[in-house]
């Protein structure tokens, strides 16, 4: 993952009122913490930052009044309705340092005809160098037959990346498509049988 370069400014104001004024000025309040140092409160340019953090676990190279800081995006608070970024928590890191991150699992390929796949685990926890974090882990289901299971231990990870998720955790389950159709049919029949009984009870 490449570093995203952003210019940041130190801030000394806090609270909802300040945060609102910052957003009106197209700035995003943020805080950098880690390594036992005092938190650094900053503001970031809204447009450039929004683009930079579209990728999970984005690595930011920040210029704060001429001083460089390398930081990993750990948490993003968004407005529940507008979905604009309200605040960002950043973890200070060093090149070569190992960090723990949750990475999305992406499914590639198609299972055997007549089967479907269920993604049981959408993310896995990994340990990797802060400057070489994978954006996702891809798992191939190409030609996989019904009854096959892919566990966390089966995932192919980049060199130097360590799996922290339980190796036996089920990631993908392949099942027969007909089984799902039958289950849906049974559920529909059960609902149809329950409906008249419910109507009779309501009439009483």
Tens-place pLDDT, residues 91-124: 999 888 899 999 999 999 999 999 999 999 999 9
CATH 2.170.120.20 in the chain: give the residue spans: 100-174
Residue 56 has a pLDDT of 82
Q: Under the phi-then-psi rule, with left for phi > 0, alpha for psi from -120 to 50, and beta for the rest, what region is 167?
A: alpha
Tell me which long-range contacts 45-52 makes (C-beta under 8 A, separation of at least 24).
45/6, 45/7, 46/84, 46/85, 48/6, 49/6, 49/85, 49/88, 50/84, 50/85, 52/4, 52/6
CATH 2.40.240.10 in the chain: give the residue spans: 4-93
Residue 200 has a pLDDT of 58
SS3 155: coil
| 202, two tokens | 């309501």
Q: Which of 22-26, 75-79, 110-114, 122-126 has the lowest mean pLDDT?
A: 22-26
Residue 77 has a pLDDT of 86
∠ Cα 86 91 95 (to 5°): 135
CATH superfamily name and code, 4-93: Ribosomal Protein L25; Chain P (2.40.240.10)
Given a contact cutoff of 8 angstroms between Cβ atoms, the answer to whether 141 and 117 are in contact is yes
**Global pTM value:** 0.69
What is the topology classification, in CATH, of domain 100-174? RNA Polymerase Alpha Subunit; Chain A, domain 2 (2.170.120)
């Amino acid at each position: 993952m490449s570093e995203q370069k952003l210019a940041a400014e130190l801030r000394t104001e806090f609270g909802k009122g300040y945060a609102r004024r910052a957003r009106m000025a197209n700035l995003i309040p943020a805080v950098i913490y880690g390594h036992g140092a005092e938190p650094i409160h900053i503001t970031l340019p809204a447009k450039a930052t929004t683009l930079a953090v579209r990728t999970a676990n984005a690595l930011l190279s920040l210029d704060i009044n001429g001083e460089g800081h390398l930081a990993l995006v750990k948490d993003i608070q968004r407005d529940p309705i507008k979905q604009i970024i309200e605040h960002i928590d950043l973890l200070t890191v060093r090149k070569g340092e190992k960090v723990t991150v949750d990475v999305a699992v992406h499914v590639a390929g198609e299972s055997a005809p007549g089967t479907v796949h269920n993604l049981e685990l959408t993310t896995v926890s990994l340990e990797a160098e802060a400057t070489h974090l994978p954006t996702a882990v891809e798992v191939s289901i190409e030609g996989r037959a019904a009854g096959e299971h892919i566990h966390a231990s089966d995932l192919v990870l980049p060199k130097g990346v360590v799996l922290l998720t339980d190796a036996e955790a089920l990631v993908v389950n392949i099942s027969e498509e007909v089984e799902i159709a039958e289950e849906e049919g049974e559920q529909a029949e059960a609902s149809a049988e329950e409906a008249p009984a419910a109507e009779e009870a309501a009439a009483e």
